[in-house]
Structure formats: C-alpha cells, structure tokens
C-alpha cells in the first residue's frame, strides 16, 4: 500500500515537479482560474491583499495559486511563476520527506486537514528567514475535502536571533571575566571580519560569502575565544611568555570553544572557535590544517584577531601602530594567512585602522 509520503518520493525533485504538466494542472482537477473564481475563494484573495503578513493560497497538491504582496516581496523571483510548488520557496528546508509529512497532515481528518510548524527560507536577498507557519483548510459548501488551503507566515527571525544572541552573549561576558582582552577587542574582531567579508562579497571573490555569511560572522567572530572559559587563570593571565606545557593547555581553548559553540545552530560558530589559530601552511593548531581545508570564516577571523592583537598592548609586547601591524601581517602572507585574503585585506586595511581608532580602549 502506498502512502502520501511514498507518492512524494516518486516526484524525487522540484525540477521534475515543475516539468510535470499533469501535476501543474492538478491531475485533472479544476485549474487555477476556476479555483480563484470560486465564490468562497475569491473573497479570500481580496482580504489577503490587506494582510500585513505573508500569506498564500495552496491547492490540494501544495501548489501556490495566489500570493499576497507581503509574500511576493519575500519570495518571488522572475522565475517564480504561479502556480509553483510551495516547496520551491523553501528549498533548504523542505526535503521530500518533510513536504510529504506536511502533505499527509493536510489530507488527514485526524490532523484537522491542517499543519503548524516552523520553516526556514533563504530568500532572494540571501538572508535566512524563520517563519512560524499555519496552514488551514478552506472547504467548499458541499465538499468533504478542502477546496484550497490558506497559509499564514509569521516572521520570527529577529525574535529568534535576539534570543539566540542574548544566550550566547552571556557566555561571551563570562569569557571576558577570565581574560585580559577587553570587550572592545572582541567587538573590533567582529567588525574587522565583517569589513573583509563584505569586500569579498562585493567583488565576488568567494562563492561562500553571502549576506547571511556576513551577518553571522560579525557576531560569531566575537565568540572566537569563548573556550578560554576553561583555561586556568594562572596561564591565561600570566605576565610574560608561557612555558611549553602551558602553551599546550592554552591551545586547548580552541577545542573547548568548539564544544561550547557546537550548540549554536550554524556550523560557522564551531568552525571559528576551533580553527581560527590554524595556519595556511599547516603549522597552526589544534589540527595543523592547511590551505582550503581551513574554513574561510576561520581564515578571515585569523586576520582580524592577529591585526587587533598587534595593535593592542599586551603583557609581553608593546602596542604597534597600523603601519607596523600591516608589515607583520604581510610578512606572513602564504604562511600564517591565506594569500587571497591578504590581497583583499590590502584593499580595506585603512578601514581596519579607522575602526581601531574609533573603538580603541
């Protein structure tokens, strides 16, 4: 016996759905124009146009047959014609299995022919959006099964991000109590990382850099040394150079940080904490990764962190001016740092200097 999920397994890909003319015509059922002209459906479209939140009407096969302006602003592209599969607007979240689950719920009397859940979408601005989604049935006068479905989307991205950031900022504050580094140092590293990432994005120098990447790295770069929470105070705040065995303990902050940040819902958090001390030539720590094996987020933060450390006065060194810091970083192009990123850094280094002066301690 086949299930509705099995039926969706047979569709395999969104491309096949789009190319299947029989499905686009609702498998012989009434077409989109007839649905929209139905005396129960037509007034809904007028009402939806006044909604202040995104909303769509879905056919029984989960094709979008109508979208209000709020929804259009978020999801529609020149290729996003109607009708189109609802799954097409959530390609990073709605797997075949998940869309099958939603389909089954919407066709189940025991589930009230409805669905409530949370979906994520990366819309045309390349920013991850989080929505609480409520899909409800609309019945015809003499119909036992839903005629169409109305989906309401509540954008909770800001709320969720603020909650998440506040949770991890408490860890950041705890790490500051353990370390001589100031809050301004942490903030500057985040801003430097944003500046460099923005340049890479604007000049299309890396396909990995998106607006979502830039947004994340600005915050997560500040968490790069959160693992120092687990470093003993006598080592962390020691005056003068560390002994070899002390360095071994100090280096563990990368692994500790990765463990702490593994609960963050984006892999970049763990990558930065774990790999920001790896070197392009494979002589860094903790795993001696080399070249492109090091995530680009970690390579960016490495430059930001070292630049700011050079500018700051430490117990074992004096503060360097911008010119001297620039010279030291250039000397390590291809050894400590990714050569391509250093070339980009040379285009924005004055912004680093201006930022340091603006936010210096």
In this predicted model, what pLDDT tens digit does every residue of 254-293 receive, in sequence order?
999 999 998 888 899 999 999 999 999 999 999 999 999 9
Q: Are 299 and 280 in contact (CB under 8 A)?
A: yes
Task: Indicate if 228 belongs to the active site.
Answer: yes
Q: Are 314 and 241 in contact (CB under 8 A)?
A: no
pLDDT-wise least confident of 80-84, 111-115, 291-295: 80-84
Q: Angle 338-344-347 (CA atoms, 0-180°, nearest 5)? A: 145
Q: How confident is the model at residue 227 (pLDDT cuts 50, 70, 90)?
A: very high
Domain coverage including residue 149: 4-155
3-state SS, residue 211? helix
Q: pLDDT digit string (tens) for 99-108?
A: 889 999 999 9
What CATH number is given to the structural domain containing 109?
3.30.450.20
Listed residue (219, 146, 213, 140) closest to 186, CA to CA: 219
The Cβ of residue 126 has, within 10 Å, a number of other Cβ atoms equal to 14
Q: Which helix (H) or strand (E) holds 128?
A: strand 128-139
Q: How confident is the model at residue 179 (pLDDT cuts 50, 70, 90)?
A: low
Residue 85: burial class (beta carbons within 10 Å; 0-12, 13-18, 19+): buried
Do 186 and 334 lie in one domain? The reply is: yes
Model pTM above 0.75: no
DSSP summary character for residue 333: B
pLDDT of residue 14: 42
Do 112 and 27 lie in one domain? The reply is: yes
Do 81 and 35 lie in one domain? The reply is: yes
Distance CA 330, CA 213 (A): 25
Do 40 and 169 lie in one domain? The reply is: no
Do 306 and 202 lie in one domain? The reply is: yes
Do 325 and 249 lie in one domain? The reply is: yes
Do 192 and 239 lie in one domain? The reply is: yes
**98, 121, 155 — which closes off a domain?**
155
Distance CA 221, CA 307 (A): 14
pLDDT-wise least confident of 125-134, 158-167, 175-184: 175-184
pLDDT of residue 78: 53
Do 125 and 206 lie in one domain? The reply is: no
What CATH number is given to the structural domain containing 192?
1.10.3210.10
Answer yes or no: is pLDDT of 30 > 50. no
**155, 176, 192 — which closes off a domain?**
155
Candidates 176, 178, 194, 228; catalytic one? 228
Q: pLDDT digit string (tens) for 305-347?
A: 999 999 998 766 789 999 999 999 999 999 999 999 999 999 9
Structural domain count, the chain = 2
Do 318 and 194 lie in one domain? The reply is: yes
pLDDT-wise least confident of 56-60, 233-237, 350-354: 233-237
Question: What does the chain come to in residues?
Answer: 361
pLDDT-wise least confident of 105-114, 140-149, 304-313: 140-149
Do 349 and 261 lie in one domain? The reply is: yes
**123, 155, 187 — which closes off a domain?**
155
């Amino acid at each position: 016996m086949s299930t509705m999920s099995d039926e969706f397994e047979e569709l395999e890909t969104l491309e096949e759905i789009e190319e299947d003319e029989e499905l686009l015509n609702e498998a012989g059922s009434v077409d989109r124009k007839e649905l929209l002209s139905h005396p129960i459906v037509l007034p809904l479209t007028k009402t939806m146009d006044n909604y202040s939140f995104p909303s769509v009407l879905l056919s029984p096969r989960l094709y979008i047959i109508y979208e209000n302006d709020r929804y259009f602003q978020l999801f529609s592209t020149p290729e996003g014609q109607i009708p189109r599969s609802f799954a097409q607007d959530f390609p990073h979240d709605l797997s075949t299995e998940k869309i099958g689950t939603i389909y089954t719920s919407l066709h189940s009397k025991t589930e009230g022919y409805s669905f409530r859940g949370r979906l994520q979408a990366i819309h045309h601005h390349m920013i991850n959006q989080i929505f609480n989604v409520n899909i409800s049935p609309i019945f015809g006068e003499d119909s036992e099964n839903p005629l169409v479905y109305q989906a309401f989307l509540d954008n909770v991205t800001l709320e969720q991000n603020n909650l998440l950031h506040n949770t991890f900022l408490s860890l950041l504050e705890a790490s500051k109590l353990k370390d001589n580094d100031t809050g301004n140092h942490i903030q500057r590293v985040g801003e430097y990382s944003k500046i460099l990432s923005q340049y890479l994005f604007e000049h299309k120098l890396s396909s990995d850099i998106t607006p979502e990447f830039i947004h994340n790295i600005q915050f997560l770069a500040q968490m790069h040394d959160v693992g120092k929470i687990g470093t003993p105070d006598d080592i962390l705040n020691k005056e003068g150079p560390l002994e070899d065995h002390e360095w071994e303990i100090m280096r563990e902050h990368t692994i500790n940080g990765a463990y702490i940040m593994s609960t963050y819902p984006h892999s970049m958090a763990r990558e930065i904490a774990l790999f920001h001390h790896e070197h392009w030539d494979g002589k860094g720590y903790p795993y001696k990764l080399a070249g492109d094996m090091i995530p680009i987020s970690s390579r960016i933060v490495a430059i930001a962190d070292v630049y700011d450390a050079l500018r700051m006065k430490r117990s074992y060194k004096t503060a360097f001016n911008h010119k001297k810091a620039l010279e030291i970083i250039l000397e390590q192009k291809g050894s400590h740092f990714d050569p391509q990123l250093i070339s980009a850094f040379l285009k924005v280094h004055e912004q680093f200097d201006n930022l340091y002066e603006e936010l210096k301690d």
